[in-house]
Amino acid sequence: MADAFFSFFVLLPLILLPILYFIVRPRPVKIPIVNRHVFITGGSSGIGLALAHRAAADGARVSIMARSLTKLEEAKSSINHATGIEVAVFAADVRDYDAVKKAVDEAGPIDVLLLNHGVFSALELEKMELSEVKSTLDINLMGCFNMIKAALPAMKNRKNVLPASIAIVSSQAGQVGIYGYVAYSASKFGLRGLAEALQQEVIGDNIHVSLIFPPDTDTPGLVEENKKKPELTKIIASSSGFMKADEVAQKAFDGIRHGSFFISCNMEGIALSLATSGLSPQRSFLMAFVEVITAGILRIAALCFQWNWYGSIEKWHKQRNCSPETESS
């Protein structure tokens, strides 16, 4: 027993930590925010607005983009009121490459590109129009391609030698598929492929990619979504916590400053990121150590979650089949 304890708690870390310290890639980095140009899409509402407040309070030059100029102007004055900082606003739809390119060129070279825009509505695929699926993918996924393609040349040619960041707001539904999020999860899972491949392409330019995974967050977008969320989505998605937008923004900037590839916002999020780390880049040898030693136990936990979720789905179908309404129809 004492031997097992010694092997696990002393010998294993002694051997593993130096190896992990040597192999983790990309290497650790510190990305300053003060006096940098932070460009935030979807910066007029919810998490994006909280990110813009945070960036302004941290001394960045802030630009925000969204479709509605009225909401952008409201955001601008609320940030000015809170911080005294004047943010630049750009009205454009992320689906429109020419409009996006014009906004990015006008804004000037970007140091931190924060792709936060997004739409989400939970609905079973059977009840969803294909046009809604396409629009979700166009905004959430193609919108990020448009933004990155437009901003990257100037980011690469930036005058200062400081590290830059491309941070993309995904979702916990971008780490695990959830009932009702067929289109949304597909769009957010797509962002992971984009981010993993992009990191390899831009590392030579000292640009560091992050993926942010908020849980349910108190925003106007979530209020709208909750009005028509399927019951099973509510049951399954309730396994993770609920956060305020400014808490998510704080976590996001903590992660961006460290160039973290995965940025989790709460304890459930950390467990989810550990469980889904796969072949993702990892800068911290300590986090890599935690990933290695928790891999087995987290797989068991993941299987327990699936057992619980499929149990809920089975129970829900049984209740539905037994209800008088379905019997009479």
Ligand X SMILES: NC(=O)c1ccc[n+]([C@@H]2O[C@H](COP(=O)([O-])OP(=O)(O)OC[C@H]3O[C@@H](n4cnc5c(N)ncnc54)[C@H](OP(=O)(O)O)[C@@H]3O)[C@@H](O)[C@H]2O)c1
Among 55, 89, 103, 119, binds ligand X (CB under 6 A): 119
Nearer to ligand X, 136 or 199 (CB): 136
Residue among 63, 170, 260, 273 flagged as catalytic = 170
Report how far residue 277's alpha carbon sits from residue 287's, in angstroms, rounded to the nearest whole number.
10
Report residue 58 as tokens: 């941290």
Among 36, 37, 39, 48, binds ligand X (CB under 6 A): 48
CB atoms within 10 A of CB 300: 8
Nearer to ligand X, 111 or 216 (CB): 216
Reference 47, options 250, 303, 228, 238; nearest CA is 250
Report how far residue 274's alpha carbon sits from residue 288's, in angstroms, rounded to the nearest whole number.
9
Can 171 be counted among the known catalytic residues? no
Report how far residue 272's alpha carbon sits from residue 73's, in angstroms, rounded to the nearest whole number.
37
Can 315 be counted among the known catalytic residues? no
Among 217, 266, 273, 277, binds ligand X (CB under 6 A): 217
* Among 60-68, 255-263, 277-285, 299-307, the segment contacting ligand X (CB under 6 A): 60-68
x/- mask, ligand X, residues 2-41, rule CB under 6 A, reads ---------------------------------------x
Contact 102, 92 (CB under 8 A): yes
Report how far residue 176's alpha carbon sits from residue 178's, in angstroms, rounded to the nearest whole number.
6
Residue among 184, 240, 264, 273 flagged as catalytic = 184
Nearest distance in Å: CB 117, ligand X: 4
Cβ neighbours of residue 4 under 8 Å, at least 6 residues apart?
none
Nearest distance in Å: CB 97, ligand X: 12
226 makes contact with ligand X (CB under 6 A): no
Can 179 be counted among the known catalytic residues? no
**CA distances for 297 relative to 33, 265, 302, 310, 314, angstroms:** 37, 21, 9, 20, 26
136 makes contact with ligand X (CB under 6 A): no
Among 78, 95, 257, 270, binds ligand X (CB under 6 A): 95
Contact 261, 199 (CB under 8 A): yes
Pairing mode of beta strands 112-115, 88-91: unpaired
Nearest distance in Å: CB 168, ligand X: 9
Provide the binding-site residues for ligand X, judged by CB under 6 A.
41-42, 44-48, 66-68, 71, 93-95, 116-120, 139, 143, 169, 171, 214, 216-217, 219-222
- Residues serving a catalytic function are 170, 184, 188
